[in-house]
């Protein structure tokens, strides 16, 4: 049996039953990483010794009956933009190449408390800016389904590591689709919770008003279980919300009878790949057969989501990334003359091209004389987009559509045309602008054998509805493993 082929919940059960030890699970993950990293490059840092050390401690706590949660002893990979005390946290940037945080992010702490074993930090687009994981300063991550293709991004390392079975599950972060799109490209399940559900404390900010941490795993059950563990009201994050219910697993029901599903016509127009379109609409048919009421509707303002998103996210990023200046931590240029020269050189050498592009864009839209025309207008657009969704959720329980217009592009194709790359975020960014929860799950492959994902969007705080619909659909098909994943099988 291949330990790495198990879901988190399955592995957790077997560890608790004493069939697999925590050390065995961690060793399996490390072996897989050693075997596959050359091809995939989904990790920036792998912490072998600490993971094994931690495995022994957690095993003892499980044996003593002090840890009994579903994730106790299960190895996890963390996206490299979440602070982990004493463990390198680079955001896949040269500027944080030597940064060892002095504290751990709340979401990661919640996992550790539940007995999760951190095996390493996953590669990403630099500072989460990108849709392909090609902007990483530590090399591109390759799609385990076809290593000539990108895994998506920005949480490409996390999605690829789960798909390649280098870890059991992973945490990602989603600012404009960064969990859902790589999950879709890699054929795994990823979920972006309602804004404010998972604490952002310790998540190195890209677009603060849009960033949310969420799970990437093999199935919906894992996602619900992980979300239940990482979600918490955190006093250290003022935008964190005290929710009435933190129970997501009881929504894992194979039943959509009477559920109203809206299909936004505007998500199926020009630019959407025919194969993607067909597979996504087939999901709606499956759910309809299982008793859901499926209806097409018009979701306005779709074309404004991309400009609004890139203005808001870049504006916040230009300010959030100002602290990386070579003064306190991170990269400082070798030679400089005076303070301003040090700032300029450290930042010019420390940041990659995409990050610089967004810092410049963000600084521009916030500068005096342009603030009203761009930033303020984008905020108004954001409010209008939210209102459009509010209107839709008066009629529908969930909204169903594609995650991305195409399957994973070839490595090297996207960065040549950034505008085209930005447009690829069209189905994911409005969810962040409106603060909604959404899940991405596999619904087939294209003619080249690359995975296609379907997205289910819920109203704020209605994760349970999308979990239920996704789970119901998932029951109708088998989880598809890529060839690289099977390399660990005996």
Partner 1 sequence: MSRQEIMQDARLQKRGMSKMSREYETVIGLEVHVELATKTKIFCGCSTAFGGAPNTHTCPVCTGMPGSLPVLNKQVVEYALAVGLATNCSINQYCKFDRKNYFYPDNPQNYQISQLYLPICHDGYVEIEVGGVKKNIGIHEIHMEEDAGKLIHDPWDDCSLVDFNRSGVPLIEIVSEPDMRSAEEVIAYLDKLRLIIQYLGASDCKLQEGSMRADVNLSVREVGAKEFGTRTEMKNLNSFKAIARAIEAERDRQIDLIEDGKKVIQETRRWDDAKEYSYAMRSKEDAQDYRYFPEPDLVPIVIGDEWIQKMKDIQPELRTEKQQRYKEEYGLPEYDIDIITASKHMADIFEQTIAICGNPKEVSNWLMGETMKLLKEQEMDADQISFSPANLASMIGLINKGELNRSVAKDVFKEIFIHDIDPVSYIEEHGLKNVSDEGAIKATIEEIVAKNPQSVADYKAGKKKAMGFLVGQTMRATKGKADPAMVNKILRELLEA
183 is catalytic: no
3-class state of residue 443 by DSSP: strand
Ordered DSSP codes for 369-386: TTIIIIIIHHHHHHHHHH
Taken as a whole, the chain contains a residue count of 490
Which residues ranging from 225 to 264 are in contact with partner 1 (CB under 8 A)? 235-239
Phi then psi dihedrals of residue 455, to 5 deg? -110, 135
In whole angstroms, give the CA distance from residue 308 to residue 379.
7
154 included as an active-site residue: yes
83 binds partner 1 per the rule CB under 8 A: yes
Residue of 202, 350, 409, 458 interacting with partner 1 (CB under 8 A) = 202
406: left (phi over 0), alpha (psi -120 to 50) or beta: beta
State the catalytic residue, choosing from 136, 158, 178, 430. 178
The neighbour count for residue 168, using CB atoms within 10 Å, is 31
Residue whose CB is less far from partner 1, 102 or 419: 102
Q: How far is the CB of 17 from partner 1 (least distance, A)?
A: 37
Q: Does residue 99 belong to the site contacting partner 1 (CB under 8 A)?
A: yes
Site for partner 1 in 368-407 (CB under 8 A): 368, 371, 375
Min dist. Cβ of residue 114 to partner 1 (A): 21
- Our finding on whether 100 is near partner 1 (CB under 8 A) is no
Separation between Cα atoms, residue 290 and residue 474, nearest integer Å: 12
Q: What burial letters (b/e) apply to 293-320, b meaning 16+ CB within 10 Å?
A: ebeeeebebbebbbebbbbbbbbbbbeb
Catalytic residue among 5, 36, 42, 79: 79
Only one residue has tokens 């705080």, namely 461
Among 323, 380, 395, 410, binds partner 1 (CB under 8 A): 323
Nearer to partner 1, 82 or 466 (CB): 82
Tokens of 325: 């200046």
209: annotated active-site residue: no
The one among 5, 42, 89, 122 contacting partner 1 by CB under 8 A: 89
- Footprint of partner 1 on 328-347 (CB under 8 A): 328-329, 339, 343
Q: How far apart are the first and last CA of the chain?
A: 7
Is residue 120 at the binding interface for partner 1, with CB under 8 A as the rule? no
Does 209 interact with partner 1 (rule: CB under 8 A)?
yes
Pick from 203, 230, 207, 169: which is nearest to 80 by CA? 203
Write the DSSP symbol of residue 265.
Answer: G
- Taking the least distance from each CB to partner 1, the nearer of 231 and 252 is 231
The residues that touch partner 1, with contacts defined as CB under 8 A, are 81-83, 89, 91, 96, 99, 101-103, 105, 200-205, 207-209, 235-239, 315-316, 318-319, 322-325, 327-329, 339, 343, 363, 366-368, 371, 375
Q: Catalytic residues, which ones?
A: 79, 154, 178
């Amino acid at each position: 049996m291949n330990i790495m082929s198990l879901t988190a919940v399955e592995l957790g059960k077997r560890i608790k039953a004493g069939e697999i030890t925590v050390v065995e699970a961690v060793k399996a993950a490390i072996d897989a990483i050693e075997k596959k990293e050359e091809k995939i490059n989904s990790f920036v840092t792998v912490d072998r010794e600490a993971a094994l050390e931690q495995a022994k401690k957690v095993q003892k706590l499980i044996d003593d009956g002090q840890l009994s949660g579903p994730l106790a002893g299960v190895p996890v990979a963390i996206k490299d933009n979440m602070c982990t005390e004493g463990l390198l946290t680079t955001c896949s940037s040269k500027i944080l190449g030597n940064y060892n945080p002095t504290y751990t992010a709340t979401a990661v702490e919640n996992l550790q408390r539940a007995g999760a074993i951190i095996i390493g930090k996953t590669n990403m687009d630099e500072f989460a800016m990108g849709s392909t994981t090609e902007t990483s300063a530590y090399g591109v991550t390759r799609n385990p389904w076809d290593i000539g293709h990108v895994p998506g991004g920005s949480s490409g390392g996390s999605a690829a590591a789960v798909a390649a079975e280098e870890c059991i599950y992973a945490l990602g972060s989603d600012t404009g689709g960064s969990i859902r799109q790589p999950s879709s490209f890699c054929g795994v399940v990823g979920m972006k919770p309602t804004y404010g559900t998972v604490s952002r404390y310790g998540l190195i900010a890209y677009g603060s008003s849009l960033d949310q941490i969420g799970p990437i795993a093999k199935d919906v059950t894992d996602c619900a279980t992980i979300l239940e563990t990482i979600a918490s009201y955190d006093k250290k994050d003022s935008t964190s919300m005290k929710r009435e219910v933190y129970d997501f697993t009881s929504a894992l029901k194979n039943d959509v009878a009477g559920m109203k599903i809206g299909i936004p016509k505007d998500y199926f127009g020009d630019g959407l790949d025919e194969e993607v379109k067909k597979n996504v609409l087939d999901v709606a048919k499956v759910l309809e057969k299982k008793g859901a009421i499926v209806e097409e509707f018009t979701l306005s303002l779709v074309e404004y989501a991309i400009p609004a998103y890139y203005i808001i996210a870049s504006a916040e990023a230009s300010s959030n990334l100002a602290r990386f200046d070579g003064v306190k931590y991170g990269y400082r240029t070798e030679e400089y003359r005076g303070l301003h020269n040090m700032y300029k050189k450290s930042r010019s050498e420390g940041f990659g091209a995409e990050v610089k592009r967004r810092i410049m864009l963000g600084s521009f839209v916030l500068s005096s004389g342009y603030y009203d025309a761009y930033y303020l207008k984008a905020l108004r657009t954001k409010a209008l987009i939210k209102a459009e969704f509010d209107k839709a959720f008066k009629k529908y329980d969930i909204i169903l559509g594609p995650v991305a217009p195409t399957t994973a592009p070839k490595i090297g194709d996207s960065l040549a045309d950034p505008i085209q790359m930005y447009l690829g975020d069209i189905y994911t960014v409005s969810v962040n602008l409106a603060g909604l929860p959404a899940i991405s799950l596999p619904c087939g492959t294209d003619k080249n054998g690359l995975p296609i994902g379907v997205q289910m969007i819920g109203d704020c705080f209605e994760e349970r509805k999308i979990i239920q619909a996704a789970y119901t659909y998932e029951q109708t098909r088998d989880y598809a493993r890529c060839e690289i994943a099977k390399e660990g099988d005996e």
